[in-house]
Amino acid sequence: MLLVADRLARRYGEGDAAVTALRETSFSIAEGEFVAVMGPSGSGKSTLMNIIGLLDRPTSGTLMLAGQSVTKLPHDRLSAVRNRRLGFVFQSYNLLARHTTLENIELPLVYSGIARKRRRVLAEAALASVGLTHRAHHWPGELSGGEQQRVAIARALVSNPDLILADEPTGALDSVTSAAVLGLFQELHRVGHTIVLVTHDPQVAAHARRVLRMRDGRLIGDEPVATTPVAAEPEVVPP
Ligand SMILES: Nc1ncnc2c1ncn2[C@@H]1O[C@H](COP(=O)(O)OP(=O)(O)OP(=O)(O)O)[C@@H](O)[C@H]1O
Ligand SMILES: [Mg+2]
């Protein structure tokens, strides 16, 4: 298993003001899965993603990533694991305005200490994989929302992460642009990437292969996505 969450819980605050955002949540994700996390606002989706993404620690419970317990790792080790194993895509793209497309994509590699020339080669390949080679030297402000999100996806991919985490990646996009971005996630899944995507939109979740449902900080469902059977092509008879 790539990821094993065992009774993860997260409480914020103390005493009367305490909020339990996540309650005793357990599940596993295998390599190559495409999982959607669904649930109403406030149900704990982002809390869960932040813990899986090693941006936050659970109050209790354990998390294993690629066979390694990450729950108690010291801060610097955690950052190293995050940088090596995880790629993030957010609703708000989070591109740096004063850096070009390619420079934004290179950033995770800068933190990994990869040499400049190699960074450029990897960033160009990631940019090509999202179909935006012609925007390499543009500023984020010159790109459409959908293009900015594709750049953010290229940035998430550039370090060849074990797991891509996306929190409402199409939340700010119109339906046509969303469909293109979701098509890109499906293509990444097809070539073997493991993806966990948070959404409150059933149409978005339908692009995944498995849905984890949350309510009031609990996991209340874990089902495969019913795939619409593709009509069989009429057999072509050779002349
Ligand atoms: N830093 C915090 N301090 C206190 N409470 C918090 C904090 N972050 C989240 N919460 C609370 O935890 C609960 C779960 O929040 P979370 O952000 O995980 O929800 P969500 O499912 O991602 O919602 P949305 O769909 O609106 O993004 C909410 O009740 C929220 O108010
Ligand atoms: Mg959220």
- List pLDDT tens digits, range 161-180: 999 999 999 999 999 999 99
Q: Which residues surround ligand 2, an ion (CB under 5 A)?
A: 46
Average pLDDT of every residue of the chain: 93
Neighbour tally for 120: CB within 10 Å: 16
Q: Ligand 1, atom 7: nearest CA belongs to which residue?
A: 12
The predicted model gives 13-25 an average pLDDT of 94
Which DSSP category does 127 fall into? Answer: H
pLDDT of 112: 86
* Sequence ranges of the domains in the chain: 3-236
Whether the pLDDT of residue 229 is over 80: the answer is no
Whether the pLDDT of residue 239 is over 90: the answer is no
Read off the pTM. 0.91
- For ligand 1, the distance from its centroid to the CA atom of residue 218, given in whole angstroms, is 13
The per-residue pLDDT for range 38-95, each reduced to its tens digit, is 999 999 999 999 999 999 999 999 999 999 999 999 999 999 999 989 999 999 999 9
* Gap between the Cα atoms of 162 and 35, Å rounded: 14
The predicted model gives 20-42 an average pLDDT of 97
pLDDT of 232: 54
Whether the pLDDT of residue 152 is over 90: the answer is yes
- For ligand 1, the distance from its centroid to the CA atom of residue 170, given in whole angstroms, is 19
The per-residue pLDDT for range 103-129, each reduced to its tens digit, is 999 999 998 889 999 999 999 999 999
- For ligand 1, the distance from its centroid to the CA atom of residue 73, given in whole angstroms, is 24
Whether the pLDDT of residue 233 is over 70: the answer is no
With a 6 Å cutoff on the Cβ, whether 37 touches ligand 1 is: no
* Gap between the Cα atoms of 135 and 126, Å rounded: 12
Alpha helices in the chain, H assignment, sequence order: 45-52, 75-85, 101-111, 116-129, 145-157, 175-190, 202-205
pLDDT of 238: 61
* Gap between the Cα atoms of 184 and 153, Å rounded: 9
pLDDT of 25: 97
**CATH node for 3-236:** 3.40.50.300
